[in-house]
């Protein structure tokens, strides 16, 4: 791992920052503050089209698939900077679904799905979790049965975030119930507007909307199967490793700690200047150092991708560390700000437009999103240290 950016990477970072200075408008910030990500044609949708026009959804894809041929470090820099500005960049469709299609998809899969993903026109929700499967993804029951030249799909998914604004579902289904559970799973791309799909909102404490999605005799072409039938477990685990790496970027944590340091130097409404307290200074210094650790973890994962390896133990470690660090930053902010820290974004007196109140409510989400931290500790033990599985 090289600890210095090369001249091309530094120039790329300046280009990304120039784009953000031009296109992160007050209207976009206001829409994001409302958590209103349901709109398919709002400020966020327009912002995505600008990213697509730059070709940045496929920035690290090979040119043969319509990408720019840049590396994972370039993508990591872009995502970090977007996170620091508080705006969504390339989502899981780009960072985890598309790479699996490139690695394992048929030629028809690649020709049909990669170009619209690169243009920002195709957005996938990922259909993994099910109501009765708990933390064991391989216990999924949603079935797909081949009928002529179509798959017929029945079942349901839960925590299906983004389904209300997606165009497709990256759907994990059971295609063979007569083999061990990890060996009878496939992945099928399903248009979200296919007849037989219904979506029910589930509102989280953070204010973020997720969904329960139902599939009732949904029919899609047989060619929508990704790669080979019954080989989906490999595609899912690869996509999840990439998802954990994308979700644990420390860009927004750097912004949060920088904001917190600035607030701590100002007198609160009660006249107290927080940095005058040695305990506050020590706590902020520890958080600042931990964000640097998280930043290095992100570069380590990107460096492995640059070498052609999908990191697994590394991103599991990173995900645990950053998600628990996020919680500690949120708790420190509310302690430091006192009662004002509880004011939400729709209150004029809220410090930094209520960003820390929002961070506090949203922080628990990433402790279980993309695999709970308890499951990931098992992953580290089994894959990283060759400890035995106890049959979860």
Decide if 210 contacts 166 (C-beta within 8 A): no
What is the helix (H) or strand (E) element at residue 354, kind and residue range? none
Other Cβ atoms closer than 10 A to 7: 7
Q: Is 339 helix (H, G, I), strand (E, B) or coil?
A: helix
Q: Is 203 helix (H, G, I), strand (E, B) or coil?
A: strand
Side-chain-facing half-sphere of 359: CA atoms under 13 Å: 27
Decide if 226 contacts 109 (C-beta within 8 A): yes
DSSP 205-268: TTS-EEEEEEEEEEEEEGGGB-SSTTBHHHHHHHHHHHHHHHHT--HHHHHHHHHHHHHHTS--
**Strand boundaries in 2-129, DSSP class E:** 124-127
d(CA 222, CA 20): 41
**Active-site option among 83, 243, 306, 314:** 243
What is the helix (H) or strand (E) element at residue 38, kind and residue range? none
Decide if 248 contacts 315 (C-beta within 8 A): yes
Burial of 389 per CB tally in 10 Å (0-12, 13-18, 19+): exposed
| Residue in this structure with the two tokens 């017929």, named with its chain if needed | 152
d(CA 350, CA 353): 5
The reply to whether 243 belongs to the active site is: yes
Task: List active site positions.
Answer: 243
């Amino acid at each position: 791992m090289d600890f210095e950016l090369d001249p091309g990477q530094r120039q790329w970072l300046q280009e990304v920052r120039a784009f953000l200075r031009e296109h992160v408008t007050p209207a976009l910030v206001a829409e994001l503050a409302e958590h209103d990500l349901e709109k398919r044609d709002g400020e966020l949708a327009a912002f995505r089209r600008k990213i697509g026009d730059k070709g940045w959804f496929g920035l690290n894809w090979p040119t043969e698939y319509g990408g720019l041929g840049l590396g994972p470090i370039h993508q990591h820099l872009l995502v970090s900077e977007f996170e620091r500005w508080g705006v969504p960049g390339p989502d899981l469709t780009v960072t985890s679904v598309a790479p699996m299609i490139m690695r394992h998809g048929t030629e028809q899969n690649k020709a049909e799905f990669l170009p619209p993903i690169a243009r920002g026109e195709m957005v996938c929700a990922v259909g993994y979790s099910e109501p009765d499967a708990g933390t064991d993804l391989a216990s999924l029951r949603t079935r797909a049965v081949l009928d002529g030249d179509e798959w017929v799909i029945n079942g349901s998914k839960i925590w299906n975030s983004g389904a209300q604004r997606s165009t497709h579902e990256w759907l994990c289904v059971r295609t063979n119930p007569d083999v061990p559970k990890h060996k009878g799973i496939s992945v099928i791309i399903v248009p979200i507007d296919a007849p037989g799909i219904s979506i029910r909102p589930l509102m989280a404490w953070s204010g973020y909307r997720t969904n329960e999605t139902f599939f009732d005799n949904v029919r899609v072409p047989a060619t929508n199967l990704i790669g080979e039938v019954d080989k989906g477990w490999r595609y899912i685990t690869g996509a999840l490793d990439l998802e954990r790496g994308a979700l644990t970027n420390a860009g927004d944590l750097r912004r949060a700690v920088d904001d917190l340091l600035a607030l701590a130097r100002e007198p609160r409404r009660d006249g107290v200047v927080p940095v005058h307290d040695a305990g506050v200074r020590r706590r902020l210094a520890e958080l600042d150092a931990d964000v640097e650790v998280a930043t290095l973890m992100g570069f380590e994962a990107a460096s492995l991708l640059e070498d052609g390896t999908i990191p697994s133990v590394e991103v599991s470690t990173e995900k645990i560390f950053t998600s628990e660090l996020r919680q500690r930053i949120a708790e420190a902010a509310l302690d430091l700000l006192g009662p004002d820290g509880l004011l939400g974004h729709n209150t004029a007196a809220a410090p930094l437009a209520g960003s820390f109140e929002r961070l506090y409510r949203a922080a628990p989400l990433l402790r279980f999103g993309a695999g709970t931290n308890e499951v990931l500790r098992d992953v580290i033990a089994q894959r990283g240290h060759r400890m035995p599985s106890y049959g979860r």
